[in-house]
Amino acid sequence: MKTEWSLDVLYKGFDGEYKRDKEELESLIEELKNYSDKLSNASQTEDELVKAIEYMEKYHLLSTKLMYYTELRQSTNTSDSEITNEVNDIEKKTSEASKPLTAIKKYIAKFDNLEELVSSNKKLKDYAYIISEIGRQSSHLLSDDVEDVIAKLNISAGSAWGSLQSFLTSTLEVEYDGEIVTLPEIRNLAYDKDPEVRKSAYEAELKAMDKIKDPVSFSLNNIKTQVNTICDLRGYDSPLDMTLELSRMNRDTLDALMKAIKEYLPAFRRYLKHKAKILGHNNGLPWYDLFAPIGESTRKYTVEEAREYLVKHFRSFSKDAADMIEEAFDKEWIDFYPRKGKVGGAFCENLPFAKESRILTNFTGNFGDIVTLAHELGHAYHGMMIQEHRPLNTDYSMPVAETASTFNEAIVMESAIKEAEGDERLALIEDQLLNVTQIIVDIYSRYLFEKSVFEKSKNEFLFPEQLNELMIEAQKESYGDGLDQDYLHPYMWIVKSHYYSENLSFYNFPYAFGGLFARGLYEKYKDEGEEFIPKYRALLNSTTIMSVEDAAKQAEIDIEDPEFWRSSLASYEKMIDEFIETEGK
């Protein structure tokens, strides 16, 4: 079994088909420009509307294929200059399409009889939701020339600053125990069973961060300043309001989610303080022991064993999910192991036009790596549920993006806990609580931090020391006395790539949303059994063609009601109680 992914389903290199498609993209963009120039005099007819949509389809398919290929290659080799040049070249080319695409959207939004035309045409009916979105968002579009300038300048602005953060963190050399290791490797030591290793790795990580804090602070400041500026230009009250609109999510839903989370923070602090007590700490849990293993779960898994484990446990849930997992392993969808130049963490990129996905992990053989694989394979399953949609209907919004992934985690963890006994069971319960604490408590701190950065960066440049202070404040407000206040992590703003996208602000609350939403769905699955699975598939399928609230209704859930979120959190509180009671025996 090969342990590095193959991108041949996209291209086999930077020549041949790739080169021809780049040339076709250039021609298509020129065609778009010529077409959009004539739209001011174009008639508002059904045929013209269909033609506009077809242009958008063609551009979407060609540009995303080229972008995915270059970005996926860069993610495993950030220091390769040829790849970086290709990424920049594709960005430059696609920026040329911003002006004509804006003109096309404005043309669509001006139709007086959109609903009538959409209802009478099959292709347009398929795009009913996205067409209505274009109409709603048209008030935030700027002039064609301004949209063009923003897209072009972004190449050397927000996008470039984000690439700098990615490059610095992926190539950072960390001195540890007489050797030079990568940042992902040193961060993985947080899970080591030796307390001295965990603490020394934490100290080495903080020391290494000091080397890159200044350039990364410039990345963060300039990205957030750019987003603030564009929000003002587009007439949004704040980056959060813009994010919610682009997420197809109501503010009432976010408020309900955050209200429930704040109510249950004391429960998670009880868990953290109990873990601290187990590890011999009296003032809460120091950050370097946040991921310390509890109990005996020392087994290491090979990639082949991970495959067997996942297929076995998902076969009992759904045949199509298990079959997809087998395909992912067998057909080189996954890049497994860490190496220098490869980005840290894990992600999944759906390739709906190819009816496949690609997954990056930094696999070390721990059970947590199996959970990570299950998480990313959930994204791939979500991709499978929407791959039959038309091309412009294949993007789901941030909040629902973590639904299938976290649902997969629940399947794996619940099955593992049921099969385990004694110390192994305790270790698995604690591992699940650790992960849940990350997507609720830590995500809440990241949400608070990003809000503060957006607000303060309007009026001042935030130097590393100020960013550290904001991060510490957010961690204290979220974790409370669950953590030792003398051992927090001031540099978490450096290592979380989610802060460094000029296109995706607040990519934090979607994790809490996804985790609790998926938990609620999983509880329904346990209650309803096989009858739930068609609802689940329908929900995932609808996430690209409905609002978040309407998609939830496919599974008979009201997410604007805090009670739904409380019910999900209550299930985790029971788990916390079981952990404390079990360990105390």
Residue 81 exposed, middle or buried by CB count within 10 Å (0-12, 13-18, 19+): exposed
Can you give the pLDDT at residue 345? 86
Flag whether pLDDT at 297 surpasses 80: no
Q: What is the DSSP letter of 474?
A: H
Residue 347 exposed, middle or buried by CB count within 10 Å (0-12, 13-18, 19+): middle
Dihedral over Cα of 109, 115, 117, 118: its sign? positive
Q: Which two tokens stand for residue 383?
A: 């991709």
- Return the CATH fold of 303-425+510-562: Neurolysin; domain 3 (1.10.1370)
Flag whether pLDDT at 55 surpasses 90: yes
- In angstroms, rounded to a whole number, what is the distance separating the alpha carbons of residues 367 and 117? 53
Contact (CB, 8 A) for 102 and 146: no
pLDDT in tens, 13-33: 999 999 999 999 999 999 999
Instruction: Say which residues have a Cβ less than 8 Å from residue 518's Cβ, sequence separation at least 6.
Output: 402, 403, 404, 405, 406, 407, 409, 410
- In angstroms, rounded to a whole number, what is the distance separating the alpha carbons of residues 147 and 161? 20
Q: Which of 158-172, 293-307, 447-461, 552-566 has the lowest mean pLDDT?
A: 293-307
For 287, phi then psi, to 5°, come to -55, -35
Q: Tell me the angle at which helices 251-278 and 239-246 cross, rounded to the nearest 10 degrees.
A: 100
Q: Which two tokens stand for residue 240?
A: 């959060």
**pTM greater than the 0.85 cutoff:** no
Dihedral (C-alpha) 181, 184, 187, 192: value to the nearest 10 degrees? -80
Name the pLDDT band for 48 (thresholds 50, 70, 90): very high
> For the chain, what percent of residues have pLDDT higher than 90?
83
Q: What's the whole-number mean pLDDT along residues 449-455? A: 98
Contact (CB, 8 A) for 564 and 558: yes
How high is the mean pLDDT of the chain? 94
H helix runs in 191-288, sequence order? 195-234, 239-246, 251-278
Q: Which of 64, 58, 69, 57 is nearest to 27 (CA)?
A: 58
3-state helix, strand and coil shares in percent for the chain, rounded to the nearest 5: 70, 5, 25
Name the pLDDT band for 196 (thresholds 50, 70, 90): very high
- Residue reference for tokens 């999910």: 321
Structural domain spans, the chain = 17-156, 303-425+510-562
Contact (CB, 8 A) for 103 and 55: no
Tell me which of 40 and 74 has the higher pLDDT. 74
Q: What's the whole-number mean pLDDT along residues 260-275? A: 97
Name the pLDDT band for 583 (thresholds 50, 70, 90): low
Q: What's the whole-number mean pLDDT along residues 236-259? A: 95
- In angstroms, rounded to a whole number, what is the distance separating the alpha carbons of residues 247 and 249? 5
CA distance to 157, 246, 384, per residue, from 503 (Å): 12, 10, 24
Q: Which of 49-58, 230-239, 397-406 has the lowest mean pLDDT?
A: 397-406
Residue 561 exposed, middle or buried by CB count within 10 Å (0-12, 13-18, 19+): middle
The SS3 of residue 575 is: helix
Can you give the pLDDT at residue 298? 67
pLDDT in tens, 421-450: 887 888 888 888 998 999 999 999 999 999
DSSP string, 297-357: ------HHHHHHHHHHHHHTT-HHHHHHHHHHHHTT-EE-S--TTS-SS-EEEEEGGGTEE
Name the pLDDT band for 294 (thresholds 50, 70, 90): confident
- In angstroms, rounded to a whole number, what is the distance separating the alpha carbons of residues 336 and 338? 7
Can you give the pLDDT at residue 295? 75
Q: Which two tokens stand for residue 126?
A: 């398929």
Can you give the pLDDT at residue 68? 97
CA distance to 67, 72, 95, per residue, from 64 (Å): 5, 12, 13
- Return the CATH fold of 17-156: Butyryl-CoA Dehydrogenase, subunit A; domain 3 (1.20.140)
Strand ranges, E, within 338-433: 347-351, 356-360
Can you give the pLDDT at residue 426? 84
Can you give the pLDDT at residue 584? 53
> What are the beta bridge partners of residue 173?
182
The SS3 of residue 459 is: coil
- 484-498 b/e (C-beta count within 10 Å ≥ 16 → b): beebbbbbbbbbbbb
